Amino acid sequence: MAGMQKKQLALDTNILFDLAHDKDFAHTFREVLQQRGYSLKVPPTVVQELGFYALRKQVPETPFALKALQNMREWGILPFDLVPTGHTITSEFSAKLIRKGFLPEGEFNDGLILAETSLACIHVLATRDFHILGIGEAYLKTQFDESDLMPVAAFHPNILLTALR
């Protein structure tokens, strides 16, 4: 049918690291979602975080960040970008989450990832990040509503897999 959108799901950095570590649950998660017709997308901040670790040759994450960046296409995972004005919106949203105490000071990127996912009109973010998961769906929805952004629900991949089975 014309105009029918494919189901989309955004992935947080930790999911890409799990895939690069060849964790069975991560590959099962990816395969099941793709078999169910989901398009897996990566927000710009996730790509930037992977790039940061890939360029820091002295950290244990470096080879896994490189592997994730090199294998995204093979895994059927596509990055997306935002229009330039979107970056201002995402920064303001993240700062708001920190100012209101929903995220700690050092977790600015978590707020960016949530807002980027919203601006891409993706309704669900798969993450294992306890800072994001700890906000709570109702509180998070309220923050999106107050910022005139489409709400994004954040779920642990195991919860999503259970729901799909």
**Which residues in the chain show pLDDT less than 70?**
1-5
The CATH classification number of 7-164 equals 3.40.50.1010
Report domain extents, the chain.
7-164
The tokens for 44 are: 């710009």
CA pair distance 107, 109, nearest whole angstrom: 5
The tokens for 128 are: 């294992």
CA pair distance 136, 85, nearest whole angstrom: 28
The tokens for 70 are: 């090199």
* DSSP 8-state class, residue 102: S
Q: Per residue in 120-138, pLDDT tens?
A: 999 999 999 999 999 999 9
Could you tell me if 34 and 74 are in contact, meaning their C-beta atoms sit under 8 angstroms apart? no
